[in-house]
Structures are given as structure tokens and as C-alpha cells.
Amino acid sequence: MRILIAHNHYGEFATGGEAMVFNAESSLLEENNIEIQKYEKSNSSIDNLGLLNKVRSVINIHWSEDTIDEVGRVMDEFKPDILHVHNYKFVITPSIFKAAKDRGIKTVLTLHNYRLMVPCGNFMTKEGNVCERCMTQNPANILLRRCAQGSILKSYLQYRLFTKTKNKLNQLTDLVDKYIVLSEFAKEKLIQTGVERKMIFIKPNFINPLKKTEVSKKVERAVFIGRLSIEKGVANLLRNWENINYPLYIFGTGPMENELKKNARNNSNIHLMGNWNNEEIKVFLRDSAFMVFPSIWYETFGLTIVEAMSVSVPVIASNLGPRSEIVIDKKTGLLYDINNDLAFTEKVKLLIENKELRKQLGENAQEEYFKKYTPEENFELLKKIYSDLLK
């Protein structure tokens, strides 16, 4: 079996969440003796285009004859059985599927975001609030509200790609044989857009287990891991932590970093750690009491939740989007209403005071990890998707 795996990086071949999953999944296939070839592009290449070509790329934001020609040559040489695309925005474009269809190659699209459902791709306003207006009313809401980082240009690009894909390419239903989503929540949202249920397969992300899982001694501390940006709920987290006398270690960087540093100066319990190596963070997390996940948008998965589960650490998470599919409330962690600060504070204090509950939730969480989120389980799901396509 030969798989051509394609990914369009948002920046200079960045190592963000989607890129991490793309690389991890590629390695997983190779480790299981599946022959793969990567096809990668980066949106940073647009910066090097002349004005005329930039205009041309906007006009043809959903279609690229250059991609069809280039990836066609790759396909003719590699001769894949399946094309698996992780992202096509903006350089690759959905036209990559046309090159595969012309050659009788089966196609799979993994949706790491909600881009086929709403133009902004995240069901979120620029202020960081959950919003479904573009699905329930009119996708032009992204233009009226400038939801793409407050920029009318970025909002227009998102809107154009979305409407062209929806109206001219019919949500890619004629080009994609199978859609992979990360949760039941995302599956139901995709069905609302008109994609048939039978075309959608749920396959969550996975993480590799920590090589050394023994804990010498648990340290009394809570951990947050993520981008320091408004949608991750870090502003709410710091505000709520004013009422909590317990160490909180925050890992990550982002646009709110300076603001958070300023706000944290008067709270000796809050420690901003910056970026660490992923394995080092997992070791730190493993030795901690619990993790907080206060995100104020739907998210598509929540990889850090699974990281906590893998090292037997319970999570307190906001109950939005697919979170309740990963965190089973009062069994593998605790969920709270995003609009109820008191509930968050109470649940944090409950885990601080009840070590036995922490231990039980953590053990249950790790058991759930081994059932659903290991590389082995993920490969079996991938293999089934590919095998079904080739039957």
C-alpha cells in the first residue's frame, strides 16, 4: 500500500498542532511498513510572489492548475493507492484532489478544523466568543464582523475560500472519498453542511506514551499547556486564580504573553514557563497534581488533554465542543460550565483537597488513553479507513 500524504503549512513549515499530527501520522505509517511520500507546501511562499501572481492566487483561491500539474507528476512517479490530505489552505488548494481523481487514486481529507463548516474555521469571533452565525445565518458574517483576527483582508480570503469550496466544489463531495474528523461533535457539524454521514469517519489524534512513566514524588501544582491567546481562556484562568492559593505553572507562548506576565506579577502562585521541549513538559505534567484546560472555543480535539491522560493526570476542562467525548465528567476528569467561574474554582479546590479523587480520576484517565489514543489503536483505525477505500 502506498500513501501520498499532503499538508499545506500555515507558516514557514511550522510545528503547530496540525503539522505535529501530520508528521506523527506519517511516522506511524512508516513504522508499520506502509510506504509513504510527503507533499508539502507553505503559505510563506505567497510572500515571494509578485503582485500579479498574488492577485491571481486570490482569484483562484480554491483551484490551482500549478498544483494539478506538479502533484500530478509526483503521483505519476510515486503511484500512490491513496491521497491523504491534512490541509490545503492556501497554496495547495482543493485542486489536489482533482489530480488524484484523474488517476483513479482514492482520496481522504482529515479535518483538523471546522473550515468546511464555517469560513473562519473555528466557530469563533475575533473577541474569542463561540459563534455559529456563519452556519445558521450567512457566511458573510465573517466580513461584517472581521472575524479573522480583525482583518478585512484575512476575513475576505477565508470567506472566498469557503464559498468557492461550498458552492463551486460542493463541499468537495465529488472529489473526496472519505472525510476524517476528530470527534462525534465535528461529524455532526459536517453533516449539517450537507456531507453524507456514510462519508465521514471518526479518528481521534494520538500521542506516543512517555518513555519513563514512574513518578518519584507528586508535586502539589496545577499545569496549563497551550498557546497564550484569547481563545485558550488564559485571561479567565488568571482572573479565577486570584481566588486560589495553589501553584499554577503555565507553559506556552503567544500574543497575550506580555499581558499575562504583567497580570501575574502580583500573584506569587503563577509561574509562566515559556516553551519547553515536549517530552520535558510531559515529565513535568506527570509529576503534577492536575491540569487545567479552560479553552473558551470549541477546539477540534485537545491533544494536551490526552497527554495528561497518558501520564495518569486528571484534567479540569471547560465543557465545550467535543470536550465531553474526551473527558468523562467525574470519571476521568472534571468538566465545568465556561460561564460559571464559581464552578471552576470549586472544582479546582476539590482536586487540591482530595488527593484520593485525583488518584482515581488519573488512573481512569490513563486506562481510557490506552483504550483509544495510543499509536497502536490509531494505526488500526487508519488501516481500516484505507482498507475500506481500496476494497
Over residues 87-111, the pLDDT tens digits come to 999 999 999 999 999 999 999 999 9
Cα 250 to Cα 261: distance, rounded to the nearest angstrom? 11
Continuous segment of H or E residues that includes residue 77 = helix 65-78
Q: Quote the pLDDT of residue 13.
A: 61
Q: Quote the pLDDT of residue 87.
A: 96
Handedness of CA 292, 295, 298, 301 (dihedral sign): negative
pLDDT band at 215; cut points 50, 70, 90: low
Cα 252 to Cα 275: distance, rounded to the nearest angstrom? 5
Full-prediction pTM beyond 0.85? yes
Question: Is the predicted pLDDT of residue 116 greater than 80, yes or no?
Answer: yes
Query: Residue 2 contacts by C-beta under 8 Å, 6 or more apart in sequence?
Result: 34, 35, 36, 37, 78, 79, 80, 81, 82
**Which amino acid makes up residue 28?**
L
Of 7-21, 63-77, 175-189, 348-362, minimum mean pLDDT range: 7-21
Cα 154 to Cα 109: distance, rounded to the nearest angstrom? 24
pLDDT band at 14; cut points 50, 70, 90: low
**Across 153-160, average pLDDT:** 94
Which cell is 351 given? 482536586
Question: Is the predicted pLDDT of residue 224 greater than 80, yes or no?
Answer: yes
**Across 272-298, average pLDDT:** 94
pLDDT band at 42; cut points 50, 70, 90: very high
Q: Give the residue among 142, 37, 332, 143 at the shortest CA–CA distance from 132.
A: 142
Question: Is the predicted pLDDT of residue 216 greater than 80, yes or no?
Answer: no
Q: Give the residue among 369, 344, 335, 355 at the shortest CA–CA distance from 288.
A: 355
Query: 305 near 317, Cβ under 8 Å?
Result: yes
Mean pLDDT of the chain: 94
Which cell is 94 given? 482543493
Q: Quote the pLDDT of residue 364.
A: 98
**Across 202-230, average pLDDT:** 88
CATH numbers and ranges of domains, the chain = 2-206+375-390 (3.40.50.2000), 222-372 (3.40.50.2000)
3-state secondary structure of 58: helix
Q: Quote the pLDDT of residue 389.
A: 95
* DSSP string of 3-40, one letter each residue: EEEEEEESSSS--SHHHHHHHHHHHHHHHTT-EEEEEE
pLDDT band at 213; cut points 50, 70, 90: low
CA distances from 269 to 246, 247, 282 (A): 6, 4, 21
Q: Give the residue among 21, 164, 32, 31 at the shortest CA–CA distance from 84.
A: 21
Question: Is the predicted pLDDT of residue 304 greater than 80, yes or no?
Answer: yes
Q: Give the residue among 375, 339, 324 at the shortest CA–CA distance from 209.
A: 375
Q: Quick one: 285 exposed, middle or buried, by C-beta within 10 A (0-12, 13-18, 19+)?
A: buried
Question: Is the predicted pLDDT of residue 169 greater than 90, yes or no?
Answer: yes
**Across 221-226, average pLDDT:** 97
pLDDT tens digits along 331-363:
999 999 999 999 999 999 999 999 999 999 999
